[in-house]
Every structure is written in structure tokens, then in C-alpha cells.
């Protein structure tokens, strides 16, 4: 049947809507698994996830999709389709066809083999980590690296497989682009970290107290409200690892976790995930529930969570307004702690072999270690067997940390076991994107610190909405950043921010 | 491709497994909607439910299913398939093909029209109920009654449409069977209710106190544990209307609700739903997650919840062991209330126009009112227009209750608005099934009251497991009951139980 380009577009919009519904149902299955699933329910849940996942994939690569794309004027060379369409429609086609081509280029047998191998690898990683024995995990990791190389080849990135993997998380960014930023950054970070640690370690002011998790949860709920989270469109629960997930156009859920000995972990997880949720909920209404209703890139998404967590949430202005409330939840524990001492605690630098325990200053160094190793894994300069030694050497070199064993070293993160190579850089890029945006925001809203101290966040959110949220995936990361700040990605704003902050806190 | 009957069976078992996965995913979407869904998430959720529901239906009526059924020797006359198959396999085919035929006989256009009309009708009912105005709901109800008649016709029950509808909930039971039981039952119930109410009303001993919902929830969790609920295979949450739902072979969840002024509502909802959950979790492992892993009938399912709630849960033996614990949660409110007064409260008879507020004695009369009206609606003896008047007349006649308005009368229940005719009788049949089983259980375990007083429920559960749980849908209700008790369904055990109980409590 003949169909004109407009009809083809409508057909694709319907298919996309159905595909998003399936991905949201998958997200609910996963959210429930992390929050409320009874222990023995996990076996059926994996089967449900596998089945729905297969159905969603089948929906995306349905032969009808390719036909409609052609009729809408889409080719790989012209992914935005017919030029008579509006800018938003063309962005829709560009983003949707990108997902389609990524999916359809992988042969079904390969997809099945990859899913199975990566599943087994993740299980082997968990066991190896528990035993702190890399050799047990090694053959699985080798297989997963080969799969990642193959995947990049199918997508058509030729020899430079790592560029193909980076592109999943940071569209358009190459290994060369990342090195050009990370290489000078690591020198500046290392130098600053050395100046801070030369001041000697600071003990935690929280030690010796217990913080009831019920009270922590009540405070976290208040905190979300204080930040302006709309609970008609989302909720807060707890899980082993905090995350944000989108289950529908008006249903974005976050999780946090509470440590009995330290309330900061729960507080900053809640703020971090609230930052992700603001982005998801801030996207233009016509994008939410479509392929455009997603983050522009992993790095840009991470920039939003880190802005709220670190730049806003760990600042003196923020706690000027909020510390009395926190104290009212924990009068015995915090009654004698001053606002200044609390801020120092929230920004304490403590060298750790573990990424997720790292402070704002050393965190990006942990990322650079991983980036350096994974790019060398894919260029052939490093074998899987050499990984633990190379890991420990880099940790010593960049962070001056002695890694005691594989569990605290190369086995600490789940990402590689699942085949997620090229993902780590986003975390550090998020810091850089975030501070570059923040510097411009501060120039546009000079009284921002007063607003924060008053608990008035709407001006900040409105600025972020204009610059970031509303676009969804319409803009590519570089485009979004240049539009908002007038220049491409640089590490300068981030480093200036860190230097100023730690000079003050550590009296450098 | 030629396939032998064994291969066809295997193919059907795979399809069935996939179909159950989809129904479990649907159950999660609904569970979440009733428990945790943020307010604005409801619009996308309806679309997700409609889409997944359509996919599940499509899975069941796939042309492959009919082909495999034929190859397994199944016809409508021989629904259990090839005689060389085992008894369990033949039961599988009988139950699976029953679902298949019920689904495939309805034309797709009719299914869509019915879903849409029943959806609108439910919304109109909610509005009419709020306005207490039946006339607003009337045209919708007429359309829904016509759809139900048509549905029964498609299934092939000819003129006696109501038999076709009853068969959904109580396989094999006809209008005549139900009347043969309900007609004498209503006389005996009415007579007993009159003797009890002649004693004058008893005020509640709970009035004037508030019961914190957090404490009620903590007690409900303890209560489930006390009954022997395995929290590795299920959980307790709260919702506006309590329910039990199965989300996987080892994932059965219940909900309850807490009233601030009276802890009994939450307590007995928790026990009731725990009874349902015991049934779902007690089914043989090889049945769970297949079409055999469901209740034998609605009435048998309801017999299990009501046994635990009323017969066990409202008895003196049960609270002998548990009342001190309940008191420890509410020392100020219950400190001065004796066990006897508490038991009288839990079994207080209070005439109400509202079914869900009715006590154990008058509850079945509310059901008989509905049964009488719906069977006359389908036989043509009663028009939709005449319903409110007929309702009020019957309520006066059977319960001596004056219905003040439609909201308290014909508009109180959601069932008819959704087209669920033939569903109500199951509630009262559950009482009868339950007491007939219980009488035999007491004969087999003479020391049952001691076990209950000691909080030792494993002998009871093991008996119910042998007689009811493990079978799933392998036995038809009549068959299950006869196998367990030696006779078909009678109201005698139920009436003996009520007479004994209320004679004691009301000193008749």
C-alpha cells in the first residue's frame, strides 16, 4: 500500500509510542525487583524480563518499521527523513532511526548469544567479587569484550571499536575527544588532591551515633518536597543501589538508601536522584513518552544529578536554610555540630580504593583510571589478563591508593561484566558539563546563592529547563552545551570550582 | 509440519507459560496502580494495561494454539485431548482449551466494543454513585447487560444466558443449582437474623479511640507471620480496597487497609487475604505458573479466605493466643477490654444497607438479593429501569433495611458496571463450601481448637493443602468438595455453625 511521508511518520509515531510503553513496563518490572519483589519471586521475574525484553526488541525491528522509515524519507545518510517535515518531526526521525539501526544491524542469533553470555558473566562477576578472585571472572570478561567489539563492528565503526561503544552513551564523542579533555584534567586533579591530602586526614564528625532509617526516610521525603519534586508525578523508595527510572510520561521514581552510621549517604543519594528526576520530568510534554523524551546523553543526565547533589547540595547556602530542619530530626546526634562542621563533613576528602565511596574531588580520577584501561582493552594495548595489575598501578599513580585485593580493585564495579564499556566516562563528563552550565547560570542569575539559601529553586529549575530539560533528545550533547554556554566542552569551570571550594574548606 | 500429540502438548505448555507471564505482568501493573502509582501516572498506566491486555489476548487466540490443540487431540467435545496422555496433562488441556474457546469464540470487533463500553460504564457508574443518581447510569448498564447476553450466546449457552455467566466463576453450576441452595438458605438466615436483632443493637466497644495506622501495619505484619505466611514468597501493602494478586509462581501479594477508628477492619482484611494467598501458594509446584495454577472456582477461593477470616479468625481460640499481642500494640485503647468483649465485638451483628460492611450472618443475604436481581435481569423478568425499586424491596424483605438512596442501594457495588454478572453468588457459596470443608476438617483433627489457641496452624494448612490447595484447577468445584467431604454442596454445615455461634454470643 502506498503511503505518503506524513502517513509514514504517523505510523512510526504510533509504533514508537507502543515501544515506549513496553520499555516502561520493563522499567516497572525492574523497579519492583529492586524495591518490593519477594525473595523467591526473582526466578519468574527474570523470565518475565527476558520475555518482555524480547517482545520490545521485536517491536523495534519489525519489518514494518524499516518500510515506514523509507517512506518517511529516512536513510542512514539522511536519518532525519523528508525535508518537508518540521524540525521536531525530523529530530524524532533522527533519534528513532538511530535506535532502529542500532537494533536491526545486530543479527538475532548474536543478540541471543550476547544476552546469555553477558548474563552469565554478570553472575560470574558477582561470585568472583565475593571470592575476590579475578581469575574466576577472566574468561567471562574476555568473551564479553569480544562481544562488545563485534557489536561495534556490526554498527560499522570498523577498527576503532571503542568509539562505537562511547557513542551509545555520548553520541558523537570519540576516544580522541575524551582524551583531549581527560589528559590535562587528570594532572590538575592529581595536583589538587595532593595539596588537600597534604593537610592530613580529617576524621568524620558523625562517628559514634546511630541514625534511625525511618527518620532518615521522613527527612528524605521532606527534602524532595523542599527541592520542589512533584509527588503527583513520582515517588521515593529504597533499594540497595539508588537509581532513577521512568515508568510513564508522568511517573518518574527515585530510590535512595540509608546507612545507620551516617545520614549523608541517604541525603546526597536523594538529592542526586532528584536531579535526574527533574530532568526526566522537565522534558517538553510532547516529548515525554516518545523517543525524544530521554536524556540527551548519559553525561548530560549525570551533569544534572551532580549539579543538584554536589554544587547545590553540598554548598553552605543550601544548608543555611535546611540544617535546622535536619537537626530537628536528629537532635541528639547533630545538636552540637555547627553548620560549618557539617559543610566540612559533606565535603571531606578521603582517599578510597572504591569509586562509589569517593568524594567530589577524587571521583573523576577513579573514572579516568577506568577510561584509560577500557580504551586500551579495545585498542589491543592491554589484555584482559593484565587488567588487575594495570588497575592497581594506575590507582597508585593517580590516587596514591594501594589496592589490597581484586574485590577492592578491578572487581568492584558491575559495568564491565554486563558489557557496558564506554559508560564510565559519562560520570566524569557529567561533572564537566555540569560546572560549565552552572557558571553560565550564575552569570545569568547573580543572586543564585540567595535563592538557594531561601529554598527557592524555581529560578534555577527554569534556567535548566530552558537550557537542558525541555529539549529531551532533540539536541546532541555538544549542541546543547554550545547553545547554552557559547562554547564546547572544557574542564576549566569544573577545576576552578574545585580549586575555590577546597582552598576554602581545607585552607590551602 | 506434522507434529505428534506429545510435541503438540509441549508447544501448548510453552505458549501457556508465556501467556501466564503476560498475565503476571498485567497483575504487576494493576498491583502497582492500587498501591504505589503516583497520581498523574494513571493515564499512561491505562494505556500500558490496554496494550499488554491486547497482547495477552492475542497470544491466547493465536492460530497456532488452535492447530496445536487439534494435534493434541482436543475438540470441544473432548477437551482433555489424546487419551494416551497422563491425567495431569489431560487436565491441563481441558483447562487450557476452556480458556482458549472462551476467548476465540468472541469476535475481535465484539471484544473491542465490549472493552470500550464496559470501561465507559464503569466511569459512568462512579459518577452516578457519587451523585446517587441511578438514571445517569441506566443507559450504560443496559448496554452492558446486552453485551453480557451476547457474550453468553457466543459461548453457546442459548437462551439461558445467566448459566453461561455463572459458569465463568463456578464452572458447571447453573442458576437452578444456585436457587436450590439459596432459596431455603435465605429463609433460615432471615429467621436467625431476626432472632439476633430482637436482642437489640449492641454499641461498638471501640468508639472514641484512634488507632495509629503505622502500629496497625506493624501488627498486620506480625499477624501474617503468626499465621505462617512465607514472606519470601509474598508481601503485604495497603490499598483502598484489599485484594490478593499473583505475580509469579512464588510471588503472591496481599493488601489491606487501616481505619483510624477501628482496628478490626484491617485485621480481618489481612487474615482474609492471607487465606487467599495460602491457596495460591499452596498449589502444587508443577501447577503454579501454568493454567492449572489458579483457584478451582471463585467460590472455592472465597471459601479459603472466609475460613481463615471468620471461622478461625473470629473465634475465641484464635484470640486466646493472640489478644495479648494485639493489646501490646494498643495498650491505651484495649487495656480495659476483655477477651470476651473483643470476641463479641468481632462478631457483632449490625444491619447495614452496605454489603462490604455486613457481618458474617447477614452477608449472605446481601448476596442473595443480588443473585435474585441479576438472574431476573437475564431471564427478562426484570428490566434495568426496575432495578432500584426491586433492590429496595428485597432489602426490606430479606434484611429489614430501608435503603435511603441509590448510593446506599443499587449503586454501591462496582461489579455490574464492569459486566461481572454471575460473580456475586461466589461470595455466599464460599461461606457454604468453607463450612462444609471445615466440618470434615474438625472431624479429622479433633484437637483443632487447641492448635489454633497455640498458634499452630500447620495441621490445618496441611489438611487444606490435601483437600483443596494442591489441586489448583485440576478438579471442578463439585468434584473437589465431594472428594474432600463425601457429599455435594449443602448449606447445613454453614447454618449449624452460625446457629451455634450466635446462640452463644447473643444468648439466644
Look at the block and give the residue holding cell 565475593: A130
Residue A170, SS3 per DSSP: coil
Please count the CA atoms within 13 angstroms of the CA of A332 that sit on its side-chain side.
7
pLDDT at A205: 83
Radius of gyration of chain A (CA): 23
User: How far away is chain A from the Cα of B211, in angstroms, using its nearest Cα?
Assistant: 19
Which one of A248, A253, A254, A255 would you mutate to disrupt binding with B, by most B Cβ within 10 Å of its Cβ?
A248
Give contacts of A 236-295 with B, CB under 8 A: 237, 247-251, 253, 289
CATH at residue B16: 1.20.58
Decide if A195 is inside a domain: no
Q: What share of chain B is helix, strand, coil (3-state, %, to 5)?
A: 65, 5, 30
Please provide the average confidence, as pLDDT, over all residues in chain A.
96
User: How far away is chain A from the Cα of B206, in angstroms, using its nearest Cα?
Assistant: 29
Decide if A263 is inside a domain: yes
Smallest Cβ–Cβ distance between B233 and the set A25, A40, A249 belongs to A40
Please list the active-site residues of B: 273
A408 to A15, A404, B3, B390: CA distances (angstroms): 45, 7, 55, 75
Q: Kindly identify which residue of chain B lies nearest to residue A18, measuring between CA atoms.
A: B51
User: How far away is chain B from the Cα of A249, in angstroms, using its nearest Cα?
Assistant: 7
Which one of A17, A25, A225 would you mutate to disrupt binding with B, by most B Cβ within 10 Å of its Cβ?
A25
Q: Tell me the β-bridge partners of A248.
A: A251
What's the structural domain count of chain B? 1
Dihedral sign for Cα A101, A107, A108, A113, please. negative
Decide if A396 is inside a domain: no
DSSP state of A82: -
User: How far away is chain B from the Cα of A104, in angstroms, using its nearest Cα?
Assistant: 22
Q: Tell me the β-bridge partners of B237.
A: B255
Residue A408, SS3 per DSSP: coil
Please give the full DSSP string across B253-296, using - where no structure is assigned: EEEE--BTTBHHHHHHHHHHHHHHHHHHHHS-TTTTTSTTSS-S
Smallest Cβ–Cβ distance between A51 and the set B21, B44, B51 belongs to B21
Q: Nearest to residue B155, comparing CAs of B203, B189, B191, B104?
A: B104
CA dihedral B65, B67, B71, B73 (to 10 degrees): 70
| B461–chain A Cβ distance below 8 A for any pair | no
Q: Kindly identify which residue of chain A lies nearest to residue B28, measuring between CA atoms.
A: A29
Grid cell of A472 as nine digits: 529531551
Give contacts of B 34-53 with A, CB under 8 A: 36-41, 43-45, 47-48, 51-52
Quote the CA–CA distance of A94 and A291 in Å, as a whole number. 10
Q: Are residues A222 and A344 in the same domain?
A: yes
Look at the block and give the residue holding cell 514468597: B233
Look at the block and give the residue holding cell 522509515: A69
User: How far away is chain A from the Cα of B286, in angstroms, using its nearest Cα?
Assistant: 14
Answer whether B37 sits within 8 Å of A251, measured CB to CB.
Answer: yes
CB-defined contacts A:B, below 8 A: 98
Give contacts of A 49-88 with B, CB under 8 A: 51-52, 55
Radius of gyration of chain B (CA): 23
pLDDT at B158: 63
Q: Which positions in chain B touch A233 (Cβ < 8 Å)?
A: 38-41
Look at the block and give the residue holding cell 565535603: A347
Decide if B388 is inside a domain: no
pLDDT at A158: 63
Q: Are residues A83 and A28 in the same domain?
A: yes
Q: Which positions in chain A touch B48 (Cβ < 8 Å)?
A: 21, 24-25, 248
User: How far away is chain A from the Cα of B455, in angstroms, using its nearest Cα?
Assistant: 24
Digit-coded pLDDT (tens) for A422-481: 999 999 999 999 999 999 999 999 999 999 999 999 999 999 999 999 999 999 999 999
Answer whether B235 sits within 8 Å of A51, measured CB to CB.
Answer: no
Q: Are B248 and B289 in contact (CB under 8 A)?
A: yes
Q: Are A195 and A400 in contact (CB under 8 A)?
A: no
Decide if B140 is inside a domain: yes
pLDDT at B159: 67
Q: Which positions in chain A touch B40 (Cβ < 8 Å)?
A: 232-233, 250-251
Quote the CA–CA distance of A231 and A253 in Å, as a whole number. 9
Give contacts of A 206-235 with B, CB under 8 A: 231-235
**Residue A123's domain spans which residues?**
5-169
Q: Which positions in chain A touch B38 (Cβ < 8 Å)?
A: 231-235, 250-251, 253
Q: Tell me the β-bridge partners of A259.
A: A262
CA dihedral B469, B474, B478, B482 (to 10 degrees): -70
Return the H-helix or E-strand segment holding B87.
helix B87-104
Answer whether B232 sits within 8 Å of A24, measured CB to CB.
Answer: no
Q: Are residues A220 and A160 in the same domain?
A: no
Q: Tell me the β-bridge partners of B255.
A: B237
Quote the CA–CA distance of A474 and B161 in Å, as a whole number. 56
Decide if B230 is inside a domain: no
Smallest Cβ–Cβ distance between A21 and the set B36, B40, B48 belongs to B48
Q: What is the mean pLDDT of residues A68-79?
A: 96
Please list the active-site residues of A: 273
Per-10-residue mean pLDDT, chain B, length 508: 87 96 97 96 94 94 95 96 96 97 94 92 95 96 97 86 95 95 98 95 86 97 98 97 96 97 96 98 94 97 98 97 96 94 95 94 98 96 97 97 97 96 98 98 98 98 98 97 98 98 96
Digit-coded pLDDT (tens) for A99-138: 999 999 999 999 999 999 999 999 999 999 999 999 999 9
Quote the CA–CA distance of B447 and A242 in Å, as a whole number. 51
pLDDT tier for residue A1 given thresholds of 50, 70 and 90: low
Q: Are residues A157 and A42 in the same domain?
A: yes
Rounded (5°) CA angle B294-B297-B298: 100
Q: In this prediction, does ipTM exceed 0.90? A: yes
Decide if B75 is inside a domain: yes
Which one of A39, A231, A251, A289 would you mutate to disrupt binding with B, by most B Cβ within 10 Å of its Cβ?
A251
Q: Which positions in chain B touch A37 (Cβ < 8 Å)?
A: 251
Smallest Cβ–Cβ distance between A38 and the set B22, B55, B251 belongs to B251
Which one of B32, B42, B251, B254 would you mutate to disrupt binding with A, by most A Cβ within 10 Å of its Cβ?
B251
Q: Are residues A157 and A230 in the same domain?
A: no
Quote the CA–CA distance of B153 and B159 in Å, as a whole number. 8
Decide if B294 is inside a domain: no
Of A106, A139, A169, the one marking the end of a domain is A169
Q: Nearest to residue B39, comparing CAs of A198, A241, A500, A248?
A: A248
| Residues, chain B | 508
pLDDT at B441: 98
Rounded (5°) CA angle A486-A491-A496: 100
Q: Are residues A95 and A148 in the same domain?
A: yes
Q: Are residues A156 and A272 in the same domain?
A: no
Q: Kindly identify which residue of chain B lies nearest to residue A55, measuring between CA atoms.
A: B55
Amino acid at each position: 500500500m502506498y503511503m505518503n511521508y506524513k502517513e509514514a511518520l504517523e505510523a512510526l509515531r504510533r509504533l514508537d509510542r507502543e515501544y515506549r510503553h513496553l520499555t516502561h513496563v520493563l522499567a516497572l518490572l525492574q523497579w519492583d525487583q529492586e524495591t518490593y519483589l519477594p525473595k523467591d519471586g526473582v526466578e519468574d521475574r527474570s523470565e518475565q524480563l527476558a520475555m518482555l525484553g524480547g517482545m520490545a526488541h521485536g517491536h523495534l525491528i519489525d519489518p514494518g518499521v524499516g518500510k515506514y522509515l523509507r517512506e518517511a524519507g529516512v536513510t542512514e545518510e539522511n536519518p532525519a527523513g523528508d525535508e518537508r517535515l518540521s524540525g521536531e518531526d525530523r529530530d524524532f526521525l533522527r533519534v528513532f532511526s538511530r535506535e532502529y539501526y542500532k537494533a536491526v544491524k545486530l543479527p538475532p542469533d548474536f543478540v541471543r548469544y550476547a544476552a546469555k553470555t553477558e548474563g552469565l558473566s554478570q553472575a560470574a562477576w558477582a561470585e568472583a567479587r565475593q571470592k575476590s578472585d579475578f581469575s574466576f571472572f577472566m574468561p567471562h570478561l574476555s568473551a564479553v569484550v569480544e562481544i562488545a567489539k563485534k557489536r561495534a563492528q556490526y554498527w560499522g565503526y570498523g577498527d576503532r571499536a571503542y568509539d562505537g561503544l562511547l557513542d551509545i552513551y555520548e553520541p558523537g564523542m570519540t576516544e580522541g575527544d575524551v582524551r583531549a579533555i581527560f589528559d590535562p584534567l587528570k594532572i590538575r586533579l592529581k595536583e589538587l588532591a595532593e595539596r588537600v591530602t597534604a593537610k592530613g586526614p580529617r576524621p568524620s564528625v558523625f562517628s559514634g551515633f546511630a541514625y534511625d532509617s525511618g527518620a532518615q526516610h521522613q527527612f528524605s521525603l521532606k527534602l524532595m518536597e523542599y527541592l520542589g519534586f512533584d509527588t503527583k508525578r513520582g515517588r521515593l523508595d529504597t533499594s540497595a543501589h539508588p537509581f532513577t527510572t521512568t515508568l510513564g510520561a508522568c511517573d518518574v521514581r527515585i530510590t535512595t538508601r540509608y546507612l545507620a552510621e551516617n545520614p549523608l549517604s541517604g541525603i546526597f543519594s536523594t538529592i542526586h536522584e532528584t536531579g535526574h528526576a527533574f530532568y526526566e520530568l522537565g522534558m517538553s510534554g510532547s516529548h515525554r513518552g516518545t523517543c525524544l523524551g530521554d536524556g540527551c546523553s548519559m553525561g548530560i543526565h549525570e551533569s544534572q544529578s551532580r549539579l543538584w547533589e554536589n554544587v547545590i547540595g553540598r554548598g553552605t547556602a543550601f544548608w543555611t536554610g535546611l540544617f535546622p530542619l535536619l537537626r530537628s530530626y536528629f537532635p541528639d546526634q547533630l545538636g552540637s555540630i555547627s553548620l560549618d562542621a557539617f559543610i566540612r563533613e559533606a565535603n571531606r576528602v578521603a582517599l578510597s580504593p572504591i569509586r562509589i565511596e569517593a568524594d567530589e574531588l577524587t571521583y573523576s580520577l577513579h573514572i579516568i583510571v577506568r577510561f584509560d584501561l577500557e580504551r586500551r582493552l579495545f585498542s589491543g594495548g592491554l589484555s584482559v589478563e593484565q587488567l588487575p595489575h594495570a588497575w592497581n598501578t594506575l590507582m597508585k599513580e593517580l590516587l596514591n591508593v594501594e589496592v589490597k585485593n581484586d574485590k577492592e580493585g578491578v572487581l568492584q564495579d558491575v559495568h564491565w561484566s554486563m558489557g557496558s564499556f564506554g559508560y564510565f566516562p559519562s560520570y566524569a563528563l557529567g561533572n564537566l558539563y555540569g560546572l560549565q552550565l552552572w557558571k553560565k547560570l550564575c552569570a545569568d542569575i547573580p543572586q543564585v546563592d540567595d535563592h538557594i539559601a531561601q529554598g527557592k529553586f524555581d529560578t534555577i529549575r527554569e534556567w535548566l529547563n530552558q537550557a537542558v530539560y525541555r529539549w529531551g533528545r532533540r539536541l546532541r550533547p555538544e549542541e546543547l552545551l554550545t547553545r547554552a554556554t557559547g562554547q564546547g566542552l572544557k574542564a576549566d569551570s569544573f577545576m576552578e570550582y574545585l580549586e575555590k571550594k577546597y582552598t576554602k574548606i581545607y585552607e590551602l
